[in-house]
Chain A
Amino acid sequence: MSRAGWLAVGLVVAPLGFAAWISFSPDSFLTPPTGAWSLRWYKAFLADHRWVSALFRSLGIAGGAAAVAVAAGGPLAFAVARYRFAGRRALAAAAVLPACVPPAVLGMGLLPVLYASGLWGSPVAMALTHGLLGLPVVFLVVRSHLESLSPDLEAAARGLGASGWQSARRVTLPLVRPAILAGVAAAFVGSLNEGLVSLFLATPSSETLPAVVWPQLRFAPNPLVAVASCLSAATAVLAVGSIMLITRARRGTAPGTPS
């Protein structure tokens, strides 16, 4: 059972590994390197201004998307977890909608709107859209974390003389930071790898990574595409990894229950 299980896990990772393997190929075809491994395509990628700027533009959009997702999802999670108000349930359900709507529908819906407002292909529109797509994860993670924190903590802060704002700043925010960081990571990675809605929203001039990868993949596939994937995957892993390190370093000991 154990061997079969690890084989299954290996199969899941295989396509990614295969793409990584191909990226080191010395040939122009999409065959894995049988002989010597070559960094030829990595060099070609880094030398090609179009690919590099596409990568950076995608990274920038991912950062923007993470910021949007947290700026919208974080406060919403706080409102839903800590207050009771009219429309609370509706908003909580709506926050999950972006994950439920088929990407083609979202892309097709946004296309005329962006076209008519002249924003079709703009990185800002892309960042906002990816932020919308990241909203459900941020909302769910932060809300769940907030609900696991005892509300007595904020009450204690108030009883000690802290105003609502002081209590949020000094007590709630530091404690909810791991969840926010996790949301940032998820939204960032999600945006970087978002390929479906981006297909609708990108124009050849918008020069994000999917916009460059897509035609290349369809019409002139070569290992550059594999390199692009590996580099963006590596960036994503680095981003998440550093966030996990930050969380671990800052983490005090877990809240203790009296023994």
Chain B
Amino acid sequence: MTRRTPYLLSAPAAVLLVGLLVTPVVLLVRVSLYEPSHGRGFFAPGTWTMENYAAVTDADGLGRLGFTVAFGAGVAALTLIVSYPIALFIRSRTAAWQAVALGAVLLPKFANALVLLFGLQQLLGPAGPVARSASVVVEPPRLTRNLAGALIGETYLVAPYAVLVLVVHLARIDPALTAAARGLGASRIRAFRRVTWPLSVPGVLLAGYLALMWGLGSFLGPMLLGGPEQTTLSVEVHRQAFEYGRWPRAAAGAVLLVATVGLTLAAYATVTRRREVV
């Protein structure tokens, strides 16, 4: 083993990252500056133009950008609201049942996302069991091809990961601490509020970060379970590339998306770091 060893060991990963991640994403900028091909291929080689950026930042484009950020935040919030109680529940079980419950929550990730969302669509749709059992009592709300469907769908895809992160973080909290609180006279709710919750905040912030990162790139949820108004930047990129064949505009949208995600996550990190100190 020589001084060169760590560099040799890192080489395959570095090549993979540079070749398949860094270079393509950097090249996106170049692609976004091509003129569209007007029917002859996917883009016109050798050209330079800013028209694609103009197109993705027009009124509709900015609306999409705003929607993407709001949708991402919504997914993150909904994910935390759903995942935290589930994680608490899992932690309250004995070790064997914890494994069963966590395995069950992670099981959907063993299946193809496309078909999962299709299954969700069937369940939530007007002919599905949710609507039919609810219609006995009240007019069932529409849960597919709208914002609700898109949110539920995307949350469904990221929630298992959030639950996993939260379970791991909750496991690090010494159970003796809540026992001590109870012994000092705190009720179960009080003990949770004063001991468990504050100690779990770092885990919550991390799960929120992951859910936000995922949510900002939302694609399948809006596309399969959302209506025409639920067009996120990712959906638009795919549409421009595959329905219209306009690669330069799709690339511009992708660059815009990267910038948006980066800025939003940076803002989140700054805000939460200050919170953590408190």
Complex contact flag A–B (Cβ < 8 Å): yes
Point out residues on A near B: beta carbons under 8 Å.
1-2, 4-6, 8-10, 12-16, 18-19, 22, 30, 68, 71-73, 75-76, 78-80, 82-83, 85, 87-88, 91, 94-95, 97-98, 100-113, 115, 128-129, 131-132, 135, 139, 163-165, 189, 192-193, 195-196, 199-200, 209-210, 213-214, 217, 221, 225-226, 228-230, 232-233, 236-237, 240
Chain B residues close to A by CB (< 8 Å):
1, 5-7, 9-10, 12-17, 20-21, 23-25, 27-28, 31, 42-43, 82, 85-86, 89-90, 92, 101, 104-105, 107-120, 122-123, 156, 159-160, 213, 216-217, 219-220, 233-235, 237-238, 241, 247, 250-251, 253-254, 257-258, 261
Q: Which residues of A contact B254 (CB under 8 A)?
A: 104-105, 108-109
Q: Is the CB of B217 within 8 A of A103?
A: yes
Distance (Å) between the CB of B260 and the closest chain A CB?
A: 9
Please state if A229 and B28 are interface contacts (CB–CB under 8 Å): no
Q: Which among B27, B111, B261 is the interface contact of A102 at CB below 8 angstroms?
A: B261
For the complex, what is the distance from the CA of A163 to the CA of B45, rounded to whole Å? Answer: 54
The closest CB in chain B to the CB of A199 belongs to B238
CB distance from B20 to the nearest CB of A (A): 5
User: Interface centre among A115, A196, A225, A240, by most B CB within 10 Å?
Assistant: A196
List 18 extra interface pairs beyond A76-B10, A76-B12, A217-B115, CB under 8 A: A1-B89, A8-B82, A12-B104, A18-B119, A97-B21, A98-B17, A98-B21, A100-B213, A101-B258, A102-B217, A102-B234, A103-B234, A105-B257, A113-B27, A189-B110, A195-B113, A209-B112, A229-B119
Q: Give the dominant DSSP class at B's interface.
A: helix
A12 cross-chain contacts in B, Cβ below 8 A: 86, 104-105, 107-108, 156, 159-160
Q: List 9 A-B contacts (CB under 8 A).
A: A5-B90, A8-B86, A14-B123, A15-B116, A75-B12, A82-B6, A104-B219, A108-B250, A228-B115
- Considering the chains assembled together, what is the distance between the CA atoms of A87 and B7 in angstroms? 9
CB neighbours of A13 from chain B (8 A): 104-105, 107-108
Are the C-beta atoms of B110 and A83 separated by less than 8 Å? no
In the complex, residue of chain A having the shortest beta-carbon distance to the beta carbon of B235: A104
A215 to chain B, nearest CB (A): 11
Interface residues of A, dominant DSSP: helix
Task: Please give, as numbers and ranges, the residues of chain B lying within 8 Å of A83 by CB-CB distance.
Answer: 5-6, 9
Q: CB distance A139 to B13 under 8 Å?
A: yes
